[in-house]
Structure 1
Amino acid sequence: MTTLIVDSACDLPKSLIEKAHIRLLPATIIYDKQSIQDQRDPETTIEIYASGALGKGHSSETAPTSAREIERILQALIDAGETDLVIQTVNRVRSPTYENAVEAVSRITKRHTNKALSVRLQDSRTIFTGQAVLAAHTIALINKGVSGTKLRRVIDLLSSKVHAYQVPKDVYYLRARARKKGDNSISWLGAVLGRMLQISPIVLALDDQTFPVTKIRGFNRAAETLFKHTIEQVNKGLLSPFVGVSYAGNPKELNTLPGFVELKRAVKAKKYQLIVSPMSLSGGVNLGPGTLSVAFATEPYQW
């Protein structure tokens, strides 16, 4: 049986992770001089968002899973009898996790040359809810008996077609985080005006690229626009039956956003599956509390 391993930036609910026996590569979250490993525990995640520790006026950072830690996790799985491992990471442009995994896999495979062992590493080419869609699709294929080269080929093809959208709640926060990483694409003036005018961008991550597709005045209106857009794509038909939604806060608050209830109905009517979870703490640190993310897989199109 193939074992799927994802990093903790993948916005899957804990219940699905446990049911599908998915293993985690936990990132380290550093905030207010504290550090924890993100194990995607919903109660802990929601508590940290509710505390305001990731908000303005607080210092927060993320650190990817190191090569040595990934190697330790893989070795523990092998020691437990696992011989077919598939690792999917957040896209390599956004995080060094993939490169750390390359190093770890190299050491592991050299150590076990005489063993019937398969370790496949995949760059998901996506982030957050996009990773969730890809992981859920992977598990569905594994449950149907798909494995090896065929599994990798199907998922590699799908990964370039996963559309992962984000609606940050605070453009000023987003600019401050981007500047820490040397990204000056959001100007100071643009961030200030964005906050004053309550402008919310809708940002798309697709095939290792991230770019804004539109700007809407008001977070709730932007969320409604994204939900309506997703409903249109759902009704047209998707390449995967999974739609991911995450929120950098308590997911119960999604029910107060216009368009979310209608999205749930549309997904159910198509007999697709809606995957809802708190956004990873890595996502919250980089995009800000209150950020909404929605993902689905379809052929590339113009917004």
Structure 2
Amino acid sequence: MTTLIVDSACDLPKALIEKKNVQLLPATIIYDKNILQDFRDPEQTISMYESAILNKDHDSESQPTSTKDITRILEQTIANGHTDLVIQTVNRVRSPTYENAVESATLLSKRYASQNVSIRVQDSRTVFTGQAVLAAHTLALIDKGIGGTKLRRIIDSLSSNVHAYQVPADVFYLRERSRKKGDNSISWLGAKVGSLLNISPIVLALDDKTFPVTKIRGFNNAANKLLAHTLEKVEQGLLSPFVCISYAGDPKELHKLAGFNELKLAIKARKYQLITTPMSLSGGVNLGPGTLSVGFATTPYEWKD
């Protein structure tokens, strides 16, 4: 049986992680000189979002799981009897987690060469809810007894079609966090004007690229636009039966969005599965509290307002 390992940026709910025995590589969250490892505890995550300690008035950042920590976690997983390991990481453009995992896997593959241990590392090419779609699809295939090269081939093909959308609540927050990582794609003036005019971008992460597809006045309007767009794609048919939604706060707030319940009904009617969860702390630190993310898999297309 194949064992799936994901980093904590992957927006899978804690309950599903535990039910499917998914192993977790926790990112490190640093806020106001405090250090916390993100094990995707929902109560702790929601509490941190609601306490405002991650807002733009506080200094916070995320750090990827180190090679040393990945090695320790993999050794423990192997010691517990798991010998066929698949590691899926946040896209390698956004984080060194992939390189750290490859380094660890190479080391351990040599160490356990005589014990029939297989360790494969996959770049998800996506982020957050996109990772969750890929992970959920992987788990469904594992449940069907699919593994090895066939599993890797299916998931590699699907990863290029996973669309992960984000609607940040505060574009100025997004600009400041991006700048700390050396990304100057959002100018100070553009962020300031966006904040003053209450402009919310809808940002797409697709196949290792991240870019805005449109800008809408008002977070709720942008969020409902994204949910309506997702509804349209669900009705057209998806490449994977999983639709994942995360929110950098309490997911109960999703029910206040006009388009959420309609989307939920459409997913059920199509016999797809909706997965909702608090956004990872890694996602919240980089995108800001209040951010909405939606992930699904479909053939790439051009966004049309």
Structure-1-length-normalised TM-score: 0.99
Q: Distance between the aligned counterparts of 1:81 and 1:246, measured in 2?
A: 32
Query: Are 2:271 and 1:264 aligned?
Result: no
Q: Distance between the aligned counterparts of 1:231 and 1:85, measured in 2?
A: 35
Q: Give the % identical residues.
A: 72
Q: Distance between the aligned counterparts of 1:136 and 1:247, measured in 2?
A: 18
Deviations, residues 265-301 of structure 1 (Å, cap 9, x unaligned): 1101101000000000000000000000001000001
Identify the residue that residue 27 of structure 1 maps to in structure 2.
27
Q: Distance between the aligned counterparts of 1:239 and 1:56, measured in 2?
A: 37
Q: Distance between the aligned counterparts of 2:182 and 2:30, measured in 1?
A: 19
Shift of 1:258: 1.8
Q: Which moved more, 1:194-203 or 1:177-186?
A: 177-186
Q: Distance between the aligned counterparts of 2:133 and 2:290, measured in 1?
A: 21
Q: Distance between the aligned counterparts of 2:182 and 2:118, measured in 1?
A: 38
Deviations, residues 157-193 of structure 1 (Å, cap 9, x unaligned): 0000000000000010011011111111111111111
Amino acid at match of 1:253: E
Identify the residue that residue 122 of structure 1 maps to in structure 2.
122
Q: Distance between the aligned counterparts of 1:83 and 1:185, measured in 2?
A: 42
- Equivalence map 1:165-244=2 (5 Å): 165-244=165-244
- Equivalent pair of 1:223/1:258 in contact (CA under 8 Å): no
Identify the residue that residue 44 of structure 1 maps to in structure 2.
44
Structure-2-length-normalised TM-score: 0.99
Q: Distance between the aligned counterparts of 2:267 and 2:254, measured in 1?
A: 15
Shift of 1:56: 1.8
Deviations, residues 64-116 of structure 1 (Å, cap 9, x unaligned): 10001100111111111111000000000000000000110011011111111
Amino acid at match of 2:227: F
Q: Distance between the aligned counterparts of 2:248 and 2:193, measured in 1?
A: 23
Q: Which moved more, 1:26-35 or 1:201-210?
A: 26-35
Identify the residue that residue 93 of structure 2 maps to in structure 1.
93
Q: Distance between the aligned counterparts of 2:182 and 2:105, measured in 1?
A: 30
Q: Distance between the aligned counterparts of 2:108 and 2:114, measured in 1?
A: 12
Deviations, residues 42-79 of structure 1 (Å, cap 9, x unaligned): 00000000110100210101111000110011111111
Amino acid at match of 1:208: D
Shift of 1:32: 1.6
Paired residue secondary structure (2:119): strand
Return 5+ residue gaps in structure 1 as ranges: none
Query: Are 2:160 and 1:163 aligned?
Result: no
Paired residue secondary structure (1:53): coil
- Equivalent pair of 1:201/1:214 in contact (CA under 8 Å): yes
Q: Distance between the aligned counterparts of 1:179 and 1:32, measured in 2?
A: 18
Deviations, residues 139-163 of structure 1 (Å, cap 9, x unaligned): 0000000000000000000000000
Segments of 4+ in structure 1 off by > 4 A?
none
Deviations, residues 179-230 of structure 1 (Å, cap 9, x unaligned): 1111111111111110111000000000000000000000000000000000
Q: Distance between the aligned counterparts of 1:147 and 1:175, measured in 2?
A: 41
Residue-pair matches, total: 303
Deviations, residues 232-277 of structure 1 (Å, cap 9, x unaligned): 0000000000000000000000111120111101101101000000
- Equivalence map 1:4-15=2 (5 Å): 4-15=4-15
Paired residue secondary structure (1:125): coil
Amino acid at match of 1:82: H
Identify the residue that residue 255 of structure 2 maps to in structure 1.
255
Q: Distance between the aligned counterparts of 2:74 and 2:56, measured in 1?
A: 37
